Structure formats: C-alpha cells, structure tokens
Structure 1
Amino acid sequence: MSAATVSLLLPDEAATRRLGEDIAAILKAGDLVLLEGGLGAGKSTLARALIRAIADDDALEVPSPTFTLVQSYPLRLAIAHLDLYRLGDPSELLELGLDEALLSGAALVEWPERGGDFIQGDALAIRLDDEGHGRRAILTMPDAWAGRIARTLAIRAFLDRSAWPGATRRHLQGDASTRAYERVTLSEDAGGHGSSAVLMNAPARQPGPPLPGGGTYDEVAHRATDVVPFVAMDLAIRAAGFSAPALLATDIEDGLLLLEDLGSEGIIRHGEPDFERYALAAEVLAELHATRRPSALPLPDGGTYRVPPFDAAAFAIEVDLLPRWYAPLVGVTLAADAEAAFAAIWRSLFARFDKAEKSWLLRDYHSPNLIYLPHRQGTARIGILDHQDAMIGASAYDVASLGQDVRIDIAPGFESALKARYIARRQALGPFDAEAFAAAYAISGAQRATKVLGGFARLASFGKPQYLRHIPRVWGYLRRNFEHAVLSDLALWYESHVPYDEAAAPSGSP
C-alpha cells in the first residue's frame, strides 16, 4: 500500500495545537490517528487540542490516559484516547476496546509501537520531534487520508493568507451536499474583542454520470458544482439591499470562501416557529419579488454569471425522484402507465407554473438558512445564507418553501397567516394577482414536497436514515396543497398509486 508523507515545522505550542484543530476538522468515524515521538514531544498537546476542538470547548479537561490507558469522550464525534506507554503486552490492547471505539467514533493512540501487530488499519501516523525552539511533525498516511489532509492544510493556508493567521477552527455544520462549514475565530485582543467568520469549504465537484436523455442530474436540475453561483448571488442580494453574508476572502478556484458571521439566532425560538420572524422573512420575499431581478449577475473578476431558468427539465427531474426513490422505499412498484400519467400531470402543472410571475428563486428559503439579526432594521433583520442553487422561476416557490418548512411543523393557520402577510406586503408595493399566486403556491408546494419525499428517501438509502423522520410532515404539506383545485389530478394520482399510510411510515419517521 502506498503512503504519502507531509513534513510540517511547528514553531511553538500554538502551532501544535493548530495542527490538532486541523486534524479534528476532517476526523470521522472509523479514523485511527497514531501519535509517535519521545517523552515531551507534544503528543498529549496535540491530542488535547484535537479533542477540545471536537468538543468545541477550550476548557474541557483532557487528562493524560497514561495510567488509565484509555479515556473516552462521548462528543459530536466520539473519541477514544489511548496511551500505551504502560502496556505490559501488545495483546492487552484487545481489552481496551479499540476496535469497538472505531465502529462509532475515532481513536487517538499515543505510543502505538507498543501495540505491535494488534494495531491495524488505514491509520494516520503523526511523529513529533524537537527541532530548534519548536517541533517537526511528520505525517505519514495511506491514500485514504491523503486528500483530506491536503484539504485541511489548504484551508489553514487560506486562513493564514486571508489575514486570519492562527485562527481557531470549529465545526459548524455540514449538509446533504459536499459543502461543509466551520466557524473560525481570532483570539481576543487587549480590549477583549474577538473576531469570528464562517468558512465555506465547497471544493468543485464533478457533476455526476450522464443521464439517458443527456446531461447529468446537476446540469439538468441546475445544481451548483462550484462556488461561482454562491458568490454571484451573494453579491447581488447584498446589492439589492438585503442581508447576506459579506465576502471577507475568496479562493474561488479552490472552493474556499470566508464569510461574515451572521450568528446563529434563527427564526425558530424555543423549538417552535416564531411567527413574527417568519412573517418578516415573508416580507423579505415580498420586497425581493416586487422589483424585477436580473438573470445576468456580475462577478468579482469582471465576468458574468447567468442565473439559470427553472425550466421544464429541471422541474421534471426533481419530481422524478419520487418514483425512483420514494416508491421503492414504501414497497410500491409503479407500472409504466402510472409513471407516464405522473409525468403528464407534472407537464401540465409546469405549463401553469411557468406562466406565473417570476423572480430570483432562492430554492431553499427555510429555517436552516435564515438568520435573525435583531440589531438591523426592517427586512435587513433576516440574513439569507443559502442561495447557490438559485434559479429564475415562480416567485411563489420560495414563499411555499418558507410556509411549508420541511424541518419543523407549520400549522395550517400559521401558514395561512404567513401567506396573508406576504400578499398584504405585495399589494402595498404595487399591483399583485393574489389568485394566480395561490395557484402557483400550491403547485410549488406540491412540487417541492414531491421532490423532498424522493430526495429524503434517496439520502436514507445512502446511509442517512435521519431524514426519514421528516416524511410525515412533508406528507402533511402535500395533502394541504391538494386542497387547491389546480392539483386535483395529482391528488387522485397519489391516492391511486402512492397513498400515504401512517402506520407503514418508513423506518426513522417519528
């Protein structure tokens, strides 16, 4: 098995701790990290920094496991910290539960050479040796680690050259895509003021295999495969007077963005949707939709990004997730004529949808992507985080996304009041066709719910069953949309071919 080697000079203790944070940022279940070097070489310093980074707690007590041999930490990612210095015989390692720890978490092993052949697997080995006033770290790794190590070190270099040298890195969130986020913080200055920002780690990805009809899923559905759309939309949203995070530093080619930290106060309070915050988010949409928005957006390098249309192909490929993924999940085999009827109904609905008023369609305008900013004024109090997959399409779509939030229950009365707030604001800003909006809203909600049912089933099949807990809620929204006459044929199709049976809800649902 080939092995790659990286040599790093760590000039002081802070640099050793930063390396621990850099490793923590990429650690996942099943990872084994071997810490080698003599007494006082810095193994415990690095391990302590790594564990505290996973815990997001700089004050976490992390004692050396020299005498206990193993110390376990049930954190966001479970960590087992082993010190084999006092191991009497390599076979004693079997009693420490290393294999079990790697099934659900990661493990750090100091003095791994004392475990002999009982330590196996694709491990990252980090050897620390004194050099000058600091240390030299030699990282030796199999191919399975090489790409991740290169990426985390590239992020550290990006921070260093972006006027954030030595910044602390902490996991913020990942999502269903390849994007990941970190909160980075500079130490407090003499006045006690620290600085924080959000790092978006979104390496460009290949758009996937070609589809039988041509193009890939990402191409047909207009899903971003690099950060260019995010940058263009972010600048455009801010230029239009709305709150999106300022771009503090960018490496567009490498897929790294440093963004203004808008905080973490959302539009949900105490586990419940806050109506005034949701209503404010609806007014943001009303003001955004009241003015014609361009599809050609300027880029920092002088180029132009063109926002794609929500066209028939994108509309259709999203709802096609239901027969491809959700139907098999619930044990339904659709006959060819049933699938043909499903597609025909959606073609008819798209024709109606496509005639509706259009604007920037942000696509995922719901609670996880909206921040409440109490110190700003008016609609600027809502921060918009996620917009890289924006299209030009029916403005009602984002209102439906907000009013039928797939991650939290929105009661019918709450949703109706939210739509009323949007309509009132639109009517105050100029002529507005409320009847056409209602039809476009129902189509948007049904299309989105259909896509989400298929998409969450797909994610579950890829080892993420937690998404299935949202299925009953999404079905509730879908049936709510069926109350509009424009969806009568679709409602009948579902009833005939894929009815919802609460008792037989997919595993993982509440």
Structure 2
Amino acid sequence: MPASVLERFLPDEAATNRLGEDLALALRQGDVLALHGDLGAGKTTLARSLIRALAADADLEVPSPTFTLVQAYDARIPVHHFDLYRLSSADELDELGFEDALEQGIALVEWPERAGDRLQGSLARIELVENDGGRLVRISASGGLGERIGRSFAIRDFLDASGWAGASRAYFTGDASARSYEIVTQEGDTPRVLMNAPRLVLGPPVRDGKPYAEIAHIAQSVVAFVAIDKALRNAGVSVPEIYAKDLENGFLLTEYLGEGNFLNRQNRPVVAHYAAAARLLAMMHGTPWPQRMEAATGTFHEVPPFDRDALLIEVDLLLDWYYPTVAGKPADSALRVDFREVWNRVLDRLDQAETSLVLRDFHSPNIIWREDRQGHDKLGIIDFQDALIGPAAYDVASLAMDARVTVPPEIEAETVAAYVEARLAGGHFDAEMFGEAYAITAAQRNSKILGIFVRLDRRDGKPAYLKHLPRIRAYLRRALAHPALAELRDFYQRHDLVQDGAI
C-alpha cells in the first residue's frame, strides 16, 4: 500500500504541542515515528509534547536522550525515545533494546537515518523544516498507521470548524468496539467529550450470507447514536447534549456528563443507585418509542428489532468461543443443533413479553451518578447506539446482573423489586410474565457475555476480561434457576457450561 503524505504548518510552539497530541492519539503498540530534520528543527520539542500527551502529564520532565541514547516512559502506551546521533552502527540498536521497546509500546527515533534499514513495519516518517517563520511538518506513513494519523488530523479539523480551534485533546477511554473518546478543553469553556466512531467494518459472512454485525443489529454509523440520543433527551433521559457532529466521518462533540461513579468508592454496588436506575428503566418502558428516529434534518435511523435471529446469533457465541475453551474441542454439529432447538423453545416463551427500547448495555460502566441532581436527572446515560426494540426485561437483567461488578442476590432482588414497584404504580403490569422474561433475557445475555469475554482474550488479545467469567457463570446459574428454564438448565449442566473453575 502506498504511503499517504500529510502536511501541517506549525506557526508556533503551541501548534507543535497540538501536533504532539494529535499524533499521540493515533498511536498503538508497535508504531515507530522517525523524526527527520536539521538541528533546531523542533524534533525534540515535538517528541516532548507527544510523550507528555501519552503520559497525560503536561509537566513531565522529558530530557533529550542525546547522551543516554534512549529514555523510557511509563505512559498509557509505553514509549521509548531514541536519539541515534551518536550511534556508530545500526547493529547497536540491539544493545539499546529497540525490538523490546516495540513489543512494549512505541518508539520515537531522532536521527533515524543512522538506523539503516532497521526501521520497518508500522512506520511514520516525520520531517520538520523551517518555513515562513514557522515550521512545515510532512508525514509519510502507510497502512493502518497512516489511516490513524489521517483520522486524528481530521478530528483536529472538525474541532477547528466547531469553534474549538486550539483546544487541547486528551485520551479519555475506549471500549470493546472501534470507538474511542477524548476529553477536549479550552480556556473559558467546560470540558467536552469527542466521540470518534468510525463506520463499522462488517466482517465476513457467517450465516445466510450476512456478517455477524448485521444479524446482531450492531450500529453501523454514528447516525444511530445521534438519533437515539435525541429521542432519549426528548423523553426526559439525561444523555449527552450534542454540540457538533460530522455524521459522514463519525465525529461528535458532546456534553461531559461528569465523573460521578455509579458504584461506591470500593467499586461495589450501591442499593439506592441501582434502585434509581431501575426506576429510570420503568419510566422508559412506560414510554412509547418510535421505530424511526430523526438524527438530523432528512437523516433518520430505523431502530432494528431484537429479533429471533439476533438473540440466537448472540447466544451462539457461547458455543463459538466459550465451549471450545472449557471442553478442549469445538462444538460439533449435533451439539449445535440441540443447543439451537433448546434455545428456540425458550425464546418461544419470550414472544409474548412486553417490548420497549432496549439499550443493551445498561449497567454500571455506562451510568454516571450525579449526586447534585434530582430525580432521574441523577443518572447520566451513555453508550446506547446499539439500542433495539425488544424485550423490556433485557435491560433490567443487564442492570441487576451487572457484568462488570458483582451484584449480590439481595441487591439484585431489591433492584428488580424497585422496577416492578414503579411499573405497577404506573398502571397495568404483568409481573409474572416479566419475571419469566427477566430470567430468559438474563440467561441469554450472560451466555453471550461468556462467549464475548473469551473472544476478547483469544482473538483480540485482551485477557483482562477473563477475570469476570466466575461472576458471569454465577449470574447464569441464578437465571437458570427459574422454572421456565428447566430444560435449558439441564442442557447447560449436562455439557458443563456453568461449572466454576472452567477458565
């Protein structure tokens, strides 16, 4: 793939610092930045701003490595700063630990020409030259690194066009998807959140000629977030206000809802918080929701149904990823057929359940507790772009069996009771049918999560998710205890799908 060439004019040191932020937000482990330029061209200034951005420390001491040859920094992504001016041979890179540096994180290299042909792979060549009282930077990078740098520059252009020219950008968070978030700040304004949501890459067909994301109804663009955000705000749910948007590129500048932890200081559930979230769900489930939601003038999002195909493709992740790990062999066709037949009979019972707008990940990481607010406004809700019209009980199960934190049975029961009480107070509500739907959706969701968390480890190199598996198995056993799930419970027990110590 030919290298893309990007240029930026840097009129002053502030612009160089912003370039460092822009580059830092584009980098991943294994990337190499080769800094070219004469003495005094600004290479060390750029390296310093980039390292400080990665370390989230504007005052970090970043000395030139001219005499030490290499300086290492423990940042969000570990970074090694090399100065090869005094290198006598490219082979000396081995003594400096260059390959180890790339295995750990990122390498910044000044005087890269002294490395010979040793700089390969994910490489960006950055040239700084004096120009018109400032400096011109020319960046040549190919493949994914070139695309990431180009997208980061596009975000900077978006901010400039949105009235945030000169704003400071800092990494905020990422998630299991390709989305990432930044905190942007500028003097005189409250901080805002920049959502970077590239269009979804659908992947290969997995069933009936369709990719997984299409069958599971994963949002393909930021249009879904904007439309659902608007609908939720109109219904009285506290979601981020959107100040600026670029629907084509997937950039949003949104309200920062705060940093109040939904959990307590020990990251454990707070009964009152979970009950408040349950009452918010009760309000939402008593609200009629349109299937067609407006994102912008002339642009609409059709909210998909949480249909049988989506429910089944999700639960199949248990056999695709979790089962082979615990059984030591892939699931054979006979097991898959039996699994599908049992689940289809379970889902038949869900056909009569109440439906509503289902956010799909309504749990602690996506809820911000705002102590200074009143009523439902205490709860700031984020991450809802994959919402569907489906069984209302699903989000209650997502909350009360929180995948990221252990919710004891008594707090689960109080959370569900708060929801049921609020629904009964609002008019007719079939609590018995809800209880059955709650158990079914809890079993479906926790089966799916077992598969996803193993996939994140095996396929995506994210082993941290495995620590959650004992909790998810315990939730699954709770759900399977419902009488309506006796057949499914027997199937899971027969195939050792819920025993502790599996992984």
Q: 1:340 to 1:121 in 2, by over 3 A?
A: closer
Amino acid at match of 1:106: I
CA shift, 1:449, in A, is 0.5
**Gap regions ≥5 residues in structure 1:** none
- Contact 1:354-1:393 within 8 A present in 2 as well: no
Deviations 1:37-63 (A, max 9, x none): 122211111111111111111122212
CA shift, 1:307, in A, is 1.1
Partner of 2:450: 453
Partner of 2:150: 150
The answer to whether structure 1 residue 29 and structure 2 residue 26 are counterparts is no
Partner of 1:66: 66
Q: 1:400 to 1:35 in 2, by over 3 A?
A: same
Amino acid at match of 1:209: P
Partner of 1:322: 318
Amino acid at match of 1:94: D
CA shift, 1:197, in A, is 1.0
The answer to whether structure 1 residue 250 and structure 2 residue 245 are counterparts is yes
CA shift, 1:455, in A, is 1.6
Q: Distance in 1 between matches of 2:25 and 2:360?
A: 29
The answer to whether structure 1 residue 202 and structure 2 residue 200 are counterparts is no
The counterpart of 1:378, out of the listed 372, 375, 379, is 375
- Contact 1:443-1:487 within 8 A present in 2 as well: yes
Q: Distance in 1 between matches of 2:330 and 2:127?
A: 56
The counterpart of 2:387, out of the listed 373, 387, 390, is 390
Q: 1:120 to 1:482 in 2, by over 3 A?
A: closer
Partner of 1:137: 137
Q: Distance in 2 between matches of 1:2 and 1:317?
A: 38
Q: Distance in 2 between matches of 1:154 and 1:229?
A: 21
Amino acid at match of 2:60: L
Q: Distance in 2 between matches of 1:143 and 1:457?
A: 29
Partner of 1:476: 474
CA shift, 1:372, in A, is 1.3
Name the SS of the counterpart of 2:221 in structure 1: coil
Amino acid at match of 1:309: P
CA shift, 1:445, in A, is 0.4
Amino acid at match of 2:500: E
CA shift, 1:172, in A, is 1.3
Amino acid at match of 2:464: Q
Amino acid at match of 1:318: E
The answer to whether structure 1 residue 238 and structure 2 residue 236 are counterparts is no
| 1:393-408 alignment runs, 5 A limit | 393-408=390-405
More displaced 10-residue stretch of structure 1: 457-466 or 359-368: 457-466
| 1:362-441 alignment runs, 5 A limit | 362-441=359-438
Deviations 1:399-437 (A, max 9, x none): 100011111111111111111111112122222221111
CA shift, 1:486, in A, is 0.8
Q: Distance in 1 between matches of 2:392 and 2:454?
A: 27
The answer to whether structure 1 residue 280 and structure 2 residue 276 are counterparts is yes
More displaced 10-residue stretch of structure 1: 80-89 or 101-110: 80-89
CA shift, 1:95, in A, is 1.6
Q: Distance in 1 between matches of 2:225 and 2:20?
A: 30
Deviations 1:470-489 (A, max 9, x none): 11110000001111101111
- Contact 1:94-1:118 within 8 A present in 2 as well: no
Partner of 1:293: 289
CA shift, 1:332, in A, is 4.6
CA shift, 1:155, in A, is 0.8
| Corresponding residue pairs, total | 500
Q: Distance in 2 between matches of 1:209 and 1:287?
A: 39
CA shift, 1:239, in A, is 0.5
Amino acid at match of 2:81: H
- Contact 2:26-2:145 within 8 A present in 1 as well: no
Q: Distance in 2 between matches of 1:500 and 1:81?
A: 48
Deviations 1:96-129 (A, max 9, x none): 1111100111011112223334444442111111
Partner of 2:342: 345
Q: 1:84 to 1:312 in 2, by over 3 A?
A: same
- Contact 1:173-1:180 within 8 A present in 2 as well: yes
CA shift, 1:233, in A, is 0.4
CA shift, 1:468, in A, is 1.5
Q: Distance in 2 between matches of 1:8 and 1:93?
A: 31
More displaced 10-residue stretch of structure 1: 19-28 or 61-70: 61-70
More displaced 10-residue stretch of structure 1: 160-169 or 89-98: 89-98
Deviations 1:5-35 (A, max 9, x none): 2222111111111111111001111111111
Amino acid at match of 2:300: T
Report % sequence identity. Answer: 49
- What's the TM-score, normalizing by structure 1? 0.94
Name the SS of the counterpart of 1:435 in structure 2: helix
Deviations 1:211-269 (A, max 9, x none): 34242211211111111111110000000011000111100011111111112222112
Q: 1:122 to 1:422 in 2, by over 3 A?
A: closer
